[in-house]
Chains A and B, each alone.
Chain A
Amino acid sequence: MNAIQTTINPECPPVCSQAPTGAELVVAALRDQDVDTVFGYPGGAIMPLYDALPGSGLKHILVRHEQAAAFAADAYARVTGKAGVCLATSGPGATNLLTGIANAFLDSVPLIAITGQVPANVMGTDAFQEIDIFGMSMPVVKHSFLVRQAEDIPQIIAEAFAIATTGRPGPVLIDLPKDIAQTRVENPVTAKIEKNERRAPDPVAIVGAEALLKRAKRPVLYIGGGVAKAKAVQTLRRFNMLAGIPAVSTLTGLGVLPTDSADFYGMLGMHGTKAANILVQESDLLLVCGARFDDRATGKVDSFAPGAKVIHLDCDPAEIGKIRNAEAGVQGDLKSALESLAVGILDISPWRARAQELRSLHAFSYNAPGAGVFAPAFLEELSRTAGDSFVATCDVGQHQMWVAQHCHFTRPEAHLTSGGLGAMGYGIPAGIGAKLARPDDCVVTVTGDGSIMMNIQELATIRRYGVALKIVLFDNSTLGLVRQWQELFYEGNFSEVDLYDNPDFAEVARSFGVEAFTVTRREQTSSAIKRLLNTRGPVLAHIRIDPRENVWPLVPPGKSNAEMMER
């Protein structure tokens, strides 16, 4: 462990002759962590912090709902690799952040959530807008702090960033009582944090993993979101360029290997490719990198990859053996683990041939009946046309799965999706966060008519800051994925999924000052994509699709991945 000292040099506008307040220490500590942008919404208990923002050098993005602040900060973190920061007031402001914090927790995203709190002397009295966000958030944070003394602020902020960004990343909440934010601190204490070195993998475990790999005849490389979090993308690509193991990925692992690469066979699991699922089921060894055997990926666990031994590489020891036993569990830094694995070229030519055969047999078809827009084909063409700068931020539902199945990704940060939580409403705020972080990228939010209504107010944020976000809205006037399940698994009993009374989304977008157009016919696909990509400012393409269209293939709930249903 190395002791790192950070220097607190608060810019304390507008008057620098006085000792800094707690709020000014927060701002200075954020600057000290190289934070440039924060997302938030002011209110009573956090007003001292907002008072300290002007002139601080921090860019504040005023969203229109606190949930959007957390989602935008989450996306900002995913594309930059740094911690995202969001602010909210006490009570409803804080509770509105919770869904976004939970989203970051389940997808292991470094996020700092700072909430105002009522003054310390009235905490516990049911004061106006008092809520125990410190207690409420415990199940969905990596750690949390309740600030009791203003002098502690530099240390708490430094620790919060260290915790959020090291090991397995995650959200950290800091609850800041109003009176403490207003307290002047005569002698701010310099923060000291212990820097955790990345834990090297156990050499004995590596030897065990190598032995399993060299004996394997049908290995599969199983890629999860942890690879990108560990900054091990290039290492994994080099490893597999040599090893040539057929690879599949989870939803959050897409793009670690370019989706068009020869050894990549698609996403596994419920809406994965048939080739990926068959490969995993037939494999004799899974080399699992930064994945957690999520139930959407495994289907029925007891029948998942029944003949496979498992090598599990993960920085989090609590994931190894949690769902699936590992014959070789390699705990520690994933990048180091992959660098240490010396397997050379594997003699698995028949297995590679089998994989290629499966790809050919089960390739997606883009020939759909009817004259309406076929969303999978639209997305495939959109991502191919946009090229390497394409970034998709998804909402949740059928369109999310179509993005995962049909878009081309050349890097993991090009696919931002609410994987673990599955939070409708993520798409537009995430698009804002991603576009602000990477203004030169072609950031496209793909949403549905259900999801967009969860955070449609953020069109105002897009307009306010001129965020050149492109929005593709697939409108089937129904909650498509729920409808699909009701059709297939609830005997067609369609209950509360009909959104026949949606507004005219193009009109709504225009009323927010966002350019919009509506697409209804398949032959408009290419021209719509061209218009979308050539528009300089924010733009929304409202695309009507057939409500009877389903996501295929599909592993029914509770079934084995070997039992995929097809169109």
Chain B
Amino acid sequence: MTTQTLHIEFESAEGALLRLIGLVERRGYEVCSMNLPTPATGTMILDLGIMARDGDRDIGVLRRQIHRLTGVRRVMGGKKSDKKSMGDHHGDG
């Protein structure tokens, strides 16, 4: 299992960071690293290094689960897994 990095652009709001990290953990990923540069505006970008706790997780699904959170603008990064899935077009980087 390899580490992948997601770049998440989201609106700064109370609880937003906790909400993001909590979702990633609950959906079966371990958070390995985090970088949260000082925002210039109300938008923040979180670089999140993650690793699936088991090998059968589709990171495209995780990206879409993050993207549907209120206040998340874009989710980029992370390699697409071999598992084929449709509708995975939320700012795949």
Contact = CB atoms under 8 A, between A and B. Distances in A.
Interface of A: 134-135, 138-139, 142-144, 146, 148, 163, 167-168, 205, 312, 316-318, 320-322, 325-331
Interface of B: 14-15, 18-19, 22-23, 26, 58, 60-61, 64-65, 67-71, 83-88, 90
B86 A322 contact: no
A104 to B, nearest CB: 16
A326 B86 contact: yes
B70 A320 contact: no
A135 B86 contact: no
Nearest to A327: B86
A330 B89 CA distance: 12
B62 to A, nearest CB: 9
A321 B88 contact: yes
A476 B85 CA distance: 46
Contacts of B90: 317
A142 B88 CA distance: 21
A426 to B, nearest CB: 23
A135 B83 CA distance: 33
A544 to B, nearest CB: 43
B22 A138 contact: yes
B22 A143 contact: no
B22 A325 contact: no
B64 A318 contact: yes
A321 B15 contact: no
Nearest to A146: B14
Contacts of B15: 134-135, 138, 144, 146
Contact of A320 (B23, B69, B86): B86
A469 B86 CA distance: 45
A135 B18 contact: yes
B85 A326 contact: yes
A163 to B, nearest CB: 6
A198 to B, nearest CB: 15
Contact of A321 (B19, B22, B58): B58
A321 B87 contact: yes
A329 B90 CA distance: 14
Nearest to B26: A139
Nearest to A167: B68
A148 B22 contact: no
Contact of A148 (B14, B19, B64): B14
Nearest to A145: B14
A489 B14 CA distance: 47
A167 B67 CA distance: 13
A312 B88 CA distance: 13
Contacts of A316: 68
B68 A320 contact: no
Contacts of A326: 85-87
A163 B70 contact: yes
A325 B83 contact: yes
Contacts of A148: 14
A321 B26 contact: no
A121 B88 CA distance: 44
Contact of B68 (A135, A144, A317, A329): A317
Given A143-B70, A163-B70, A318-B65, A312 B18 contact: no
Give the most central of A163, A205, A318, A327: most B CB within 10 Å.
A318
Contacts of A143: 69-71
Contacts of B67: 317-318
Contacts of B65: 318
Contacts of B70: 142-143, 163
Given A139-B26, A320-B85, 6 more contacts: A135-B15, A144-B15, A318-B64, A320-B87, A321-B88, A331-B86
Contact of B84 (A163, A318, A325, A330): A325
B14 A321 contact: no
Contacts of B85: 320-322, 325-326, 329
Contacts of A320: 85-87
A321 B18 contact: no
Q: Looking at B64, B83, B90, which has the most chain A CB atoms within 10 Å of its CB? A: B64
A339 B23 CA distance: 34
B89 to A, nearest CB: 8
Contacts of A321: 58, 60-61, 83-88
14 contacts: A138-B18, A139-B22, A146-B14, A146-B15, A148-B14, A163-B70, A318-B64, A320-B86, A321-B61, A321-B84, A325-B86, A326-B87, A329-B87, A331-B86
A318 B86 contact: no
B25 to A, nearest CB: 10
A331 B88 CA distance: 10
B23 to A, nearest CB: 8
A316 B65 CA distance: 9
Nearest to A318: B64
By Cβ-Cβ distance, the 7 closest A-B pairs, closest first, are A321-B85, A329-B86, A318-B64, A329-B87, A143-B70, A331-B87, A320-B87
A199 to B, nearest CB: 11
B22 to A, nearest CB: 6
B9 to A, nearest CB: 17
Contacts of A163: 70
Contacts of A327: 86
